[in-house]
Structure formats: structure tokens, C-alpha cells
Structure 1
Amino acid sequence: MTNNRPLVVISDEALLDEVLRLAAAVGCETERAPDLESARPRWADAPLVLLDDTAARRAPDLQHRPGVLLVCKSTPEPETWQLAFGLGVQRVVALPDAESTLLSALADALEGTRARHGPVLAVIGARGGAGASVFAAAVGIAAARTGRDALLVDCDQLGGGLDLLLGMEQEGGLRWPGLRTGSGRLPTSGLRAALPGRDHGDGRLAVVSCAREGEGPTADAVTAIVDTGRRAGDVVVCDLPRHVGAVGRAVLRKSDLVAVVVPAEVRASLSAAGVLGRIGGPATRSGVVVRGPAGETLPPDQVADTVGIPLLTSMASERGLQRAIDRGEFLPRAKGPLAVAASMVLTELSAETAGAGAAR
């Protein structure tokens, strides 16, 4: 609809071309007006107004409103700031230095009231083979089964690819080597369409997977992907490597809850304590997911005490799971131990984000 389009009032052709290029990069259609007098009917209800100093200089008497940006090609002159103040401009954006600011504003205008705040879960294993990737995938599927869209983000370049775990390796769609997130902002609809995914119940699980060849995610790229999922209201589940680097730290900063998957073993429990230390004490809440049995098992509460964080849930081994994964048929049984544990963590994640929202 026309009234959902940002209003562009820019007479400088070179500047206009640059603004339209950035709008196209996030899939945002715009509406143009030659001057602010002509734009008066749209002034109040446009989700975003972009104007240049020429339009500002010739502005009629207009009521101040939020969401007005004055765009210029270089460092603003003192006169530009005076014009901006007089019009009640929210921000002066100098291109190309502030390109990311304009991209963010355009993406927000595109999504408008559709933008929501989805929860983010980080999953990390206490040791190799702890089952963190399997559990992360199970949480994503559990979210989709409840009717929500979910985004599963593979942050472990050496993990073989979550698409392989889910039996999606032959499906089309972009993997990390093919994703370009240099703008720092992605339209949600475009991202969903570009990724492999499957429906589970009334929801859909989309996957950002590493590939068998090529580069994995960077910290900036994973931040852009997580932010895109959050704005869409998706449940975002990130599978982290145990050796947390810049990518892992970027995810942890965005996470509402961190689930540490720990086999019910003494060595795994001690290893989990070390992993938690490397995480560096994230401000977000962390909890243990205990997986057993494996050899001489420990009670789940004892594992949590050893690790030093609360117990989120525990689960028994699921019969036939590894065989199903090897055949490309991974799908947790609806009432099996894996699906039940995933649902419990999903409930805890929802409670965590609801509490954070109330605090805000």
C-alpha cells in the first residue's frame, strides 16, 4: 500500500540515486514528492520521511513529527543543522559514512508494525559430541510445532553443517558462504525466501547453515542474521562452537538464554565449567541441559552444581536417534525425551523474554 512507503523529498539527483539504491537493497519501495508542500498530505502518516537540505530550506509550516531524516552527501554544514532543528528532524545522515543508519531506518519502515522482538537462545556443548547441535535443532523444530516461525543459525564452521543434520543438504537456498550481509541489515521476508527450510506443524524452521566448503560466518554477519530473525518475531536458536571466538561472543551479546548441553559425566561436568568460564560470564541467563545416560551417570542436579549454573532440564537418550540422523531423517518424536526437553527450554526462553520485556 502507498501509505506504507517512506516519503522521499530530495531534489539532488546524485543523492536521490544513492537513497533509492539503498532502499532497493532492503527491498523497500518509496514514494517521491518534488517538495514538502506537495508532500503535505503524506507528511503525518508516512512511516519515514527523507529530505535533503534544499527541501528543508523551502519547507512550509509543518507540524513536527518523528521519523524525519535529513540526508546529505558530506559532513553537514552549520546551516544544515539549523535547518534540521527548525523542522524537528530526528537525525542528519551524511552519506556514505552513515549508510548503515539509513539502511536501518529503511528496513524499519519496510517492516513497520510487523517488527516484533523474537527470543534468542544460544546452545553450546560441554565437550565434543555433547549433542548441542542436535538439541539446538530440536528446539527449532519444537518452536515450529507450536505454530511459530523459527530460525536455526549454525555458528560452528567445523561442525559439518546443520543442513546435513536435518537432512536438508540437497535442498536449495543459501548457506553462509553465499550470504552477503555487508549492509548490517536484511529484510526479513527476503531472508526467509533465501534459506532452506521445512514446515513443522503450523510453523516453519529456516536454517542458516555452514557449508562443507567456503567460509563460515563473521561476527558482523551473524549479528545481522540474528537481528533479522528477532525483528521478524522468530524464535532464533544459535548453535555455538565450544571454543567461543568473536562469532560466539556476538551471539552471546544478543542471547536471552544460554543452554549448556552436558552429558551426565564427571569429565563433561568439569569441562562445562571451563566452557562457562570461557564464555566470560554473559549478562544473559545460563542453564544446564543434562543428557544421559552415558557410562556412569550423575544426577542432573549434581551436574548443575558442578557446572555452577541452574538446571534447565534433563533428558534420557532417545532410541534410534543416531540411526535416523545418519539416514537424513532427523525428527524428534513428539513425546520423546528430546522433544520434551526442547519444549521445556523453549518455555523457559519465553518466560525469560517475557520477564525482560516487563522489566523494560
Structure 2
Amino acid sequence: MLRDASADRWVRDAEPVTQSPRSAHIADLDRVSGRAVSTRNVSGRTVSDGRTVGTAVAVDVTDPDLDADVRAVLAALALDPGPRDGASADVVVTDRPDPGVGSGGARVVRVGAEGAGGDDDEVIRLPSGTADLVGALMAPVATGRGSLVAVVGAVGGCGASTLAAAIAVRAADSGRALLVEADPLGTGIDLVLGIESEPGLRVEDVRAELGGPDPDALWGAAPAADPGCKVLARARDREVGEPASDGALGAALAHRSAGGLVVCDAGRFADGDPVLARADLVVVVTRADLQGAVAAGRPGGDLRGATLVIRTQRGDPLDAADVADSAGIPRWHVLPEVRAVRHLAGTGDLGRALGLGRGGRGGRGGRVRRLGAVADALLGEVSTGEW
């Protein structure tokens, strides 16, 4: 029988050639769960053989066959189901149509039997959705709500990457700040901070499946611009035309779930960008000209609570206030163009100029004073929840 809750029994019984829908997916359980156990720490605690323990999972499944399927997956992941009522659980797995919110804020994962009908995309159908269930169970358990700031350029060359780096640098002494290059066309934001030669993880190295990366492992492997600021940049050695990895979003969400601050350089605005959709604060950077005003209005109109940063210089055809009014974004900051800042970003010295390695927020004066002040103001919006 395939209903034995033992993962070993499930896999062993799957060996005979069978064409049933259930047995066609049973081999996936061993393959997917084994790979998951070897590549990700579910709860931040491991045992000596590399398997993971500790995530508290409650199973509240009324269908006995479906219940056995769920418990087999848990067994394969070395997870012991807790009380049905979900008390003290991190995750509640259920087949109830309206489960509500898990007790104590536990994350609810809904499952259903294959072919049971219904078109609810949030329901994981078993057994074909075995990999999806594994991923849901292995998603990072939130230890504290962090924040995700996405910086997007309304037009090209407006300094969005420089501002994103500055925000992460200024947050370095307040906790774990992770700068992520979410722009699929990015060429390495680590260049801005002068750490492109540092060994460590790049976006392409992050596994996007199976619940995303472990936050602590991610933090430990990412190159450091400062003890409080890590950088996850795009690899510059990927081949032309190679599709961009979607590990950036997974890394950002994992770090935020652990209570950290994430600053994403999202590149140019694009409809349906998942990073912008999941961000707590979106910062739109533009110029004080007609093209900049029109372009800023597009993302500003689609993104609730966006903040506008207007780059200005002598001879601008529009006032900053007119740009903000045209874009329809009530909260805005002015960031004057300073040639020295562009030079610092181009030579990798921006981090030091902003105060990295000086035991606190240095760099308040001189050539980067205004850039640091705007970055601090944006961090203030995050901490006060003004978005």
C-alpha cells in the first residue's frame, strides 16, 4: 500500500512499475526531499548527519488518504507533526476550505487531493504537488518582521544603483542590511562599493526553489562591504543571453523573514516586477526634466505609497516640485547631482565616503553629505512605517 506514513515504505512501494497517478509522483518524494534536506537548513538547527529538525508543523487534514500523504512528506523531511490544534506551530497544513489564520500567527498551507475539483491556486494538490509542499514546509520561518526597500529607476542613468547602495551602507550600523541586485540586466552592484573581488555568493548561486535559502547561511556566504552590510550582486561571468536567475527575490524574502533589512536595486521599472510587488517601500528615482516627470508617473501611479527621489542639476528644465506633482507622488526628496559622488561610485570608494568601517555613520560632511542625508531619510520612512 502507498498509504503507509513511513517515507521509506512509500518510496519502497513505489519501485514496481505502476501507471497510477499517485505512484507516478512517489519517486519525486525521495528525490525532492533528499535534495532539500541536503541543501537547506529548515529551522536554523541541524543534526550531525545533515538532516534538519525543529520546524513545528501541525497537521489538520480530514481526508485520511491525504493525511497519510502529508505525513509521509513530513517523515521524509525528518519533521514530526505536532498537535492538530496548531498550538505553538510554525506551520499548519490543512485541507479545510476556510482555515483562517493559524494559531499564534502560524503560516497556513492548504492541501487537497488530486482531481478533487476546485480551481483555488493556493491549494497544493497531492501527490503531483509534492515538490510544492516540500517548498512550503521549508520556507523560512519568520523570526521577526524585517523590511524590503526596492529602488527603481524611472529613467536610465539617474543613479538608482548608487542610491540603493547608499541606503544599505547607512543601515549597516543598525543591524543586518543586505543589498541585493534584483535587476536582471545588472552588471554588478558590488562594483559601486569596491568589493567586486571579494569571494562569496552571487545571485546566480542562490537556489530559488524549495522554499528559498536559509537566512543565516545566506548572510554568512554573501560578500561583506561591512560587518553590518552584505552584498548579493549579479555574476559578471554569465554568458550573454543566459536567463537571469530569480534567486534575488528568494534571497530578499528570506533575509526579510529573519528580521533583516533588504535593499534591492530593481533596475528600470517593469510591469509585474515581483520585487516591487513584495516591497515594503518603493523608491522611484528620476530626473528633473519632462522625460523624467512622465516616466516617474508611470510607476508612481501603480505603486501604493511610493517615495520619489528627484535628481537635480543646474539648468534643469523643471522644478522638483513640478516633477513630483506630475508624477502624482506626494512624498519626495531632492538629491542634487554631485560629480564627486558619481566618481566615488565609479571607483568603488562610495562605501568609505559614506562611513563604512568608521564605527558608525560617518561621511556626513563633504562630497556625499546630501546623498547620506537622503538615504537616512528613506531609512526613517522604513522604521516609522510611513510607506
Same fold (TM over 0.5): yes
Structural mapping, 1:224-235, within 5 Å:
224-235=250-261
Which residue is 1:261 aligned to? 285
Aligned counterparts of 1:123 and 1:206: Cα–Cα separation in 2: 15
Aligned counterparts of 1:271 and 1:46: Cα–Cα separation in 2: 48
1:239 to 265, 269, 276: 265
2:307 to 282, 287, 307: 287
Aligned counterparts of 1:159 and 1:46: Cα–Cα separation in 2: 36
Aligned counterparts of 2:327 and 2:222: Cα–Cα separation in 1: 36
Which residue is 1:320 aligned to? 340
For 2:267, what is the secondary structure of its paired residue? coil
Q: Which runs of 5+ in 2 are unaligned?
A: 12-25, 48-52, 60-65, 73-81, 95-111, 116-122, 355-362
For 1:295, what is the secondary structure of its paired residue? coil
Aligned counterparts of 1:77 and 1:124: Cα–Cα separation in 2: 41
Aligned counterparts of 2:55 and 2:152: Cα–Cα separation in 1: 43
Query: What is the aligned residue count?
Result: 303
Q: Is the 8 A contact 2:300 2:328 kept in 1?
A: no
Q: Does 1:252 align with 2:276?
A: yes
Give a deviation string over 1:244-266, Cα, whole Å, max 9, x none: 155xx111110122111123x32
Q: Does 1:125 align with 2:150?
A: no
2:133 to 85, 101, 104: 101
Which residue is 2:176 aligned to? 149
Q: Which runs of 5+ in 1 are unaligned?
A: 1-7, 32-41, 79-90
Aligned counterparts of 2:163 and 2:261: Cα–Cα separation in 1: 14
Which residue is 2:379 aligned to? 346
Aligned counterparts of 1:305 and 1:154: Cα–Cα separation in 2: 30
Q: Write the letter of the residue equivalent to 2:289.
A: V
Give a deviation string over 1:280-321, Cα, whole Å, max 9, x none: 843531121122224336443222112221233223334622
For 2:329, what is the secondary structure of its paired residue? coil
2:202 to 175, 181, 184: 175
Q: CA deviation at 1:100?
A: 2.6
Which residue is 1:84 aligned to? none
TM-score (norm 1): 0.70
Q: CA deviation at 1:204?
A: 2.5
Q: Write the letter of the residue equivalent to 1:343.
A: D
Q: Is the 8 A contact 2:286 2:293 kept in 1?
A: yes
Which residue is 1:83 aligned to? none
Q: Is the 8 A contact 1:229 1:236 kept in 2?
A: yes
Aligned counterparts of 2:92 and 2:9: Cα–Cα separation in 1: 18
Q: Is the 8 A contact 1:255 1:284 kept in 2?
A: no
CA RMSD of aligned residues (A): 3.8
2:295 to 257, 261, 274: 274
Q: CA deviation at 1:207?
A: 2.4
For 1:213, what is the secondary structure of its paired residue? coil
Q: CA deviation at 1:349?
A: 2.0
Q: Is the 8 A contact 1:155 1:217 kept in 2?
A: no
Aligned counterparts of 1:53 and 1:95: Cα–Cα separation in 2: 11
Q: CA deviation at 1:107?
A: 3.9
For 1:171, what is the secondary structure of its paired residue? coil
Gap change, CA 1:119 and 1:54, over 3 Å in 2: closer
Structural mapping, 1:45-64, within 5 Å:
47-48=56-57, 53=68, 64=84
Gap change, CA 1:52 and 1:159, over 3 Å in 2: closer
For 2:199, what is the secondary structure of its paired residue? coil
Structural mapping, 1:20-35, within 5 Å:
20-28=34-42
Gap change, CA 1:175 and 1:30, over 3 Å in 2: closer
Q: CA deviation at 1:345?
A: 0.7
